[in-house]
Structure 1
Amino acid sequence: MSAFRTVINSCMLSDLNCTGDLFTWCNRRKNNDIIFERLDRFLCNNDWQLLYPAAEVSHLDFYSSDHRLISVSLKKGCEVLFKKGPKRFMFEHKCMLEEDFHQVMNQWMHNDINVDLPNALFQFSGVMKNWAGSRFSDLSRKIEFFRKELNGL
């Protein structure tokens, strides 16, 4: 998580706080086992905030996911919704537990990046998506296989 925070700090991003319900994730359990967390955030830099000073972030309903969609209202009557599109890279803590994660992260951070922030983050997500794909591509199939095995017991 430290390396992720380093990227956020080096890109000078800040959290555009939300209105309404604070939590963006739920483990979907019942009673005392239920957990709500704020995992998803809308990050922007100072230049973006100056362009959209009246921007407001709100969290929509869970719909069919355990994560809420994030809605950004730039000004009254003009909303941009971040909806499901092509599969996106989602940074997970397990990535940092891999031996070569820090090597990949340091290599990317020391590249000469002469692009604007959105393109830099796009490049970073591409590097991490390729790296994570090579590391964890079989994981979903293995989980499903063992889930079926357990159900068969």
Structure 2
Amino acid sequence: MGFGGNKFTWKRRRVVNTFVAKRLDRVLCCAHARLKWQEAKVTHLPFLSSDHAPLYVQLSPMVGGNPKRRLFCFEAAWLSHEGFKELLLSSWKKNITTPAALKQLQKTLRRWNREVFGDVQNRKEKLVNEIKLIQDELEQK
């Protein structure tokens, strides 16, 4: 299927005279699957905590949507923020129904995530991209 990203999917050693890198991991598909998913692509992701690079198989291109229509998800990382518990206590409205209070809390948490906590997914993607750039530069040497 081809690939994008680093040339190698496996590396051993960090010292120049004992360094070995190979493209061991691959994605194979039959002709029927290739016709069904013609826009499929494989990306070799950056090495993070293993000597193997993870492979990302995307069967169809990402479709941009309205971020305001995205489902609300609780982020476990919020619990580590020192001001989160206080935010919850001050934001919860006791004088309205629970569904209405949850809806109000959802709006508060979305704004707080954007303004105070920061968008974890965007920060994570930035860091992974930085790691990828560094690994690409090292691969060129």
TM-score (norm 2): 0.42
The structure with the greater share of residues assigned to helix is 2
Query: What's the TM-score once normalised by structure 1's chain length?
Result: 0.39
- Rg: which structure is higher? 2
The structure with more strand, counted as a fraction of residues: 1
Greater relative contact order (CA < 8 Å, ≥ 6 in sequence)? 2
